[in-house]
């Protein structure tokens, strides 16, 4: 789903990221972001801290168990 927000650029070239987006993406003062232009579209990407990056790569144990159980169930069905 696409949500449309409007903001203005101030005299110093700064913009305000709407509060709903800041809350959703856990963006607070001092957070580093990358601003990129991709095929004419300006994109803002939060730069993950080392801790966030590691946490995003870790699959919770419950999720791993669910994946294993589903895989095992499929194997058992194929053996029948």
Question: H or E segment at 38?
Answer: strand 33-38
Q: Give the CATH architecture of domain 1-47.
A: Ribbon (2.10)
- What's residue 20's pLDDT? 93
Averaged over successive runs of 10 residues, the pLDDT of the chain (80 residues) comes to 90 95 92 93 89 77 84 85
- What's residue 10's pLDDT? 97
Give the other-Cβ count within 10 Å of 51's Cβ: 8
* Rounded CA separation 75/79 (Å): 6
- What's residue 56's pLDDT? 75
- What's residue 16's pLDDT? 95
- What's residue 39's pLDDT? 92
8 A C-beta contact, residue 37 and residue 43: yes
8 A C-beta contact, residue 25 and residue 19: no
Q: List the domain boundaries for the chain.
A: 1-47, 49-80
The separation between CA 60 and the C-alpha centre of its own chain, rounded to angstroms, equals 17
């Amino acid at each position: 789903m696409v949500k449309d927000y409007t903001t203005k650029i101030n005299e110093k070239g700064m913009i305000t990221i709407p509060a709903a987006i800041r809350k959703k993406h856990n963006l607070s003062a001092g957070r580093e972001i990358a601003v990129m232009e991709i095929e004419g579209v300006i994109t803002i990407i939060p730069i993950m801290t080392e801790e966030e990056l590691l946490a995003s790569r870790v699959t919770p144990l419950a999720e791993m168990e669910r994946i294993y159980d589903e895989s095992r169930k499929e194997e058992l069905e194929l053996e029948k």
